[in-house]
Structure 1
Amino acid sequence: MEELDVSSSLRELLTMVFKRKRTILVIFLAVASAAIAYWIVLPITYTAKSRIMVKFGREFVARSEVGTETFRLSPQSIMATEIELLKGKELLARTLNDIGPRTLYPHLAKSASEASALKAATAMAAGKIEAKNVPGTNMIEVSFTHPNREGAVMTVNKLVEHFVDRHVDVFGGKSTAFLEQQTKDYEGKLSTSEGRLEGFRQQNRVFSIEEQRTALITQRGTLESSVMAAQNQVKELQEKLGFLKSPRWSVETPGDVRTQVLTLEQRERDLLERYNEQSRAVQNVRRELESARRTARNVTEEVRRAEISRVEGELTALRVRLSGLRQQLGQTERELQTLDSKLKEFQELRREVTAHESSYRTYLQKLEEARISDDMDRQKMVAISVVEGAQAGVTPKVTKIKTMIIPLGLVGGLAAGIVVALLLEFASSALVTPRAAERRVGLPVMVAVAKK
């Protein structure tokens, strides 16, 4: 029974379709014609492509303006930055301004001004620019889609050309002027500090303060040793002089005088054995003996006086020398104290010169590096290379929409015709099949007569 109902319903649908076949045909032709017309008028676009290789060169190494600290940007951040630069509106506007906005978009000819035309062209072209990293490489593929083949090629090539300039602007050194000013400033500071140091040296007669201080310390040690030695000599001479003046000092009597005294003493003893003390002979001998002894004492005293005079002379000379040594030692001490008092100021001046010289050399080296980098930027010796430029032989870009327009139009026209036919039948009060009549009146159909 269910199979009979399904067969009957299908028959009714087919009956309705064939009944309204003209309507379906008209709608089908109308929709299909519209689809074909749209397919014909849909513009053909061209996509020009170019490939750029990023070589991760010097531009991507960040250097401190002072010192030697450096670090390199990661490849991922470099590629992302370059892609954003390619897709930037400023770069696109510069490219379109070079080409001419009305060259790519002639319908902008009636724009109010060049600025507004450029702005409108930039807005339209922004959605047609694509830049992406080629997987597994350090290359970027940039493309532009436009109805005009030459316009697409020219836009991509100009965009890449301006991209290189933009890359130089963004990654190029902007510190040359700053480094030149800093180098000049520190050169002046170095000259000033060197002048102050030289003036200090001339004023205080200080040229190599460490060597001078070492020499003075050595000289002080030598003088102290000399003073101590002279003091010991003075003490020895003073003791010797005291001994010479004391009764304990004695000197050997000359031989002839001693012999004469001994001879006379022997004669005195011989005469006393024969004569008494009052005899003339004994008295004469005693007078001679006393004269000899006096002569011996005079000789000894002369020797003492001569020795005392000699020692006193040496002592006087030594005292004069000791006084001179003490004066020299005092002068050396004063010079050393003066030098020590100037040492702090000298060291501060020298540290200032050293610091300014170090800063000057650092900035001078950085300036040379910046100038070399600027020269390379002017020559466009950058880490960007155009591997493949856009070519004139660009094939048309057939979009998925255009490939599907005609099939969709045919299928849609047929479906629309059938739907409209069914709607018309359902809205009509006529009964086109016996089954429909039976459902309407509730009675079985006895006979069906075809309409002629």
Structure 2
Amino acid sequence: MSDFATLLWRERYLMVAVFAIIFVLGAAAAFTMKTTYPAYSSVLVRLGQEYVYEPLSGDAGRGAVPDSDQVIQSETEILGSGQLKQRVIDKLGLARIYPVLAAKYATADASEKKLILGQAIRSLDSSTKIETAPDTPIIRISFTHENPETAALVLNTLLEEYLIYRRSVLTDPTSPALARQREAFAARLAQADAAYEDFLNNNRIGDFAAEKTSLGQLQQQIEQQKYQTDTQLQDRMGRLAMLESQMGQVSQEVGLYRDISSAANDKLMTLKLQREDLLSRYKNDARPVQELDAQIAQLEAGISSGRTQGEGARRIGVNPVYQTIQTEKIQLTAEVAALKQSQVALANQVAQLTERRMRLAELEPRFQALSLDRDVLQASVRDFTVKEQQSRAASEIASTTNDNIRIVSRATPPTKGKSLKKPVIVLAFLFAAFTALCAGLLRMFLRPGLPTAQSASRTLDLPVLATAPMKVR
């Protein structure tokens, strides 16, 4: 180690020269650096309506939203976009932000102006710093400039233009497409309606479903009436046949009443009265009384045996039973004739209804196809109309408000600047010292000979008895 220090000391002049040159150059560069002033601001970002997914067709994925980190990332990309920097330059003017570039821009041609403007955008981008933290809805923005007021002005303008620019980026531009699609569906719906109306008119149908239902109900009622008519007809025909068989067994005429002769009873009563009259003049054993008793006894015997009875006057008229049967037969005959006509009429109606229902069944596939196409188009027109209105409302709301974006703190002109003079000087000192040390070591290892008696003794493995100073010629 003692040889190492001795050897480096021999190269002190070279090391000092290298150190001085590099340090002076680094210090000169440090003193040319200007002081810059950083302005700070922060923005609170929350989930807004513009991030809610609304599908153009169908409901798959409707209402899906990104997580907070994705929202922060998208807002950060908007803040760092070159288009936003261009809007800031257009609003403030290049001379207000970078006067030197503005002077060059004023005298440059068209191609050079584009290059100068691109340089200004790159400078603006490099001076802007955007910071975020995981799971934190805050975006911190800083802008550094040589002028503190310009730094605050540029940063506040950047935030104002950001609130405007993000609307054009995030606002859903699909309303015109939805309107065109809705109009296309409306035109197809008009064609489907015309085909539907032509189908109904050509087949003389007012309401297909209602007519089909009413025909089924009407046929059911008529068939039920037909069954009842058949039953009544069979009943009337059976009763009519029974009446016809009964009419041959019933007499057409019948005695209305018959008088019975009461002459014997009257004669008997007269005799008894005569006997009583005789008893007022004669005794019971008198001959006139006995003769009357004999007559009375004989007449009573004749009455008892029925010899004294005879037919009186008789009256014959129409048999009411026969008349009733004949009247009922006439009524049943009329009913049978009416029921037969009703049966024929109901059968014709059933046949007509069956034919109409078969016709409707034949037309039903075409009707179902037209109805399905019409219903689908109506639903599509309704859905696209709703989506168009919702999209327009969302666009109008998004174009007039930024409720989910809040500027927590606006930039103010900084009072304390930042400079890299001290760090550059320190780095220049360290780099000059390191370079000088490396130059000394390189020169030390490349120098020929044995520089000290100790190194010569170790190298040659011989003792050194004496040393003499180098003779300068």
Q: What TM-score do you get using the length of structure 2 for normalisation?
A: 0.68
Aligned twin of 2:47: 56
Looking at structure 2, the residues matched to 219 and 411 of structure 1 have their Cα atoms a distance apart, in angstroms, of 110
- Relative to structure 1, the CA distance from residue 243 to residue 181 in structure 2 (aligned partners, 3 Å threshold; closer, same or farther) is same
- Which residue matches 1:184? 183
CA distance in 2, matches of 1:302, 1:82: 111
Deviation at 1:397, TM superposition (A): 1.8
Superposition map of 1:38-437 within 5 A: 38-68=29-59, 69-101=62-94, 103-104=97-98, 106-107=100-101, 108-109=104-105, 111-112=108-109, 113-134=112-133, 136-202=135-201, 204-243=203-242, 245=244, 249-252=248-251, 254-256=253-255, 309-381=330-402, 383-393=404-414, 395-399=416-420, 402-407=421-426
Other-structure match for 2:298:
none
SS class of match (1:72): coil
| Aligned-partner SS, 2:255 | helix
Root mean square deviation of aligned Cα: 4.8
C-alpha distance in 1 between matches for 2:366 and 2:11: 116
**How far did residue 249 of structure 1 move?**
3.4
C-alpha separation between the residues in 2 aligned to 1:232 and 1:246? 21
Give the Cα–Cα distance (whole angstroms) in 2 for the partners of residues 435 and 299 of structure 1.
177
**Compared with structure 1, are the counterparts of its residues 226 and 10 closer, same or farther at alpha carbon in structure 2 (3 Å cutoff)?**
closer
The TM-score, its normalising length taken from structure 1, stands at 0.71
Alignment CA distance shift 1:251-1:25 (3 Å): closer
How many corresponding residue pairs? 409
Q: 2-side partners of 1:79 and 1:195: how far apart?
A: 52
Unaligned runs of 5+ residues in structure 1 are 264-291
Against the structure 1 CA distance between its residues 394 and 114, is the aligned structure 2 distance closer, same or farther, given a 3 Å change threshold? farther
Question: Do the aligned partners of residues 223 and 100 (structure 1) sit closer, same or farther apart at CA in structure 2, a change above 3 Å counting?
Answer: same
Question: Using a 3 Å threshold, how does the CA distance of structure 1 residues 28 and 74 change in structure 2: closer, same or farther?
Answer: closer
Does structure 1 conserve the Cα–Cα contact (< 8 Å) formed by 2:185 and 2:381?
yes
Q: 2:217 is paired with a residue of what secondary structure? A: helix
- Does the 8 Å contact 2:8/2:440 carry over to 1? no
Q: CA deviation at 1:326?
A: 2.2
Quote the Cα distance in structure 2 between the aligned partners of 1:38 and 1:244: 143
- Structure 1 counterpart of 2:75, which letter? E
Larger radius of gyration: 2
Deviation of the 1:176 alpha carbon: 0.8
Change (3 A) 1:237 1:131: same
SS at match of 2:140: strand
8 Å Cα contact 1:29/1:413 also seen in 2: yes
Verify the 8 A CA contact 1:104 1:151 in the aligned structure 2: no
Give the secondary-structure state (helix, strand or coil) at the position aligned to 2:131.
Answer: strand
Q: Deviations over 1:246-298 (max 9, x none)?
A: 588311554417969xx9xxxxxxxxxxxxxxxxxxxxxxxxxxxx9xx9999
Give the CA deviation at 1:73: 0.9
Instruction: Give percent identity, aligned residues only.
Output: 20
- Could you say if the C-alpha distance between residues 203 and 426 of structure 1 is closer, same or farther in structure 2, counting changes exceeding 3 Å? closer
In the TM superposition, what whole-angstrom CA distance separates every residue of 1:66-107 from its partner, at most 9, and x where no partner exists?
334221112222222222222233333343344444542614
CA shift at 1:370, angstroms?
A: 1.0
- Over 3 Å counting, the alpha-carbon distance change for 1:423 and 1:176 in structure 2 is closer
Contact 2:42/2:407 (<8 A) preserved: yes
Amino acid at match of 1:387: V
CA separation of 1:420 and 1:331: change in aligned 2, threshold 3 A = closer
Secondary structure of 1:320 counterpart: helix
User: Which consecutive unaligned segments of at least 5 residues does structure 2 have?
Assistant: 262-313, 459-463
Higher alpha-carbon deviation: 359-368 or 386-395: 386-395
Partner of 2:280: none
- Look up the equivalent residue of 2:373 and give its one-letter code: E
Aligned-partner Cα distance in 1 for 2:436–2:387: 80
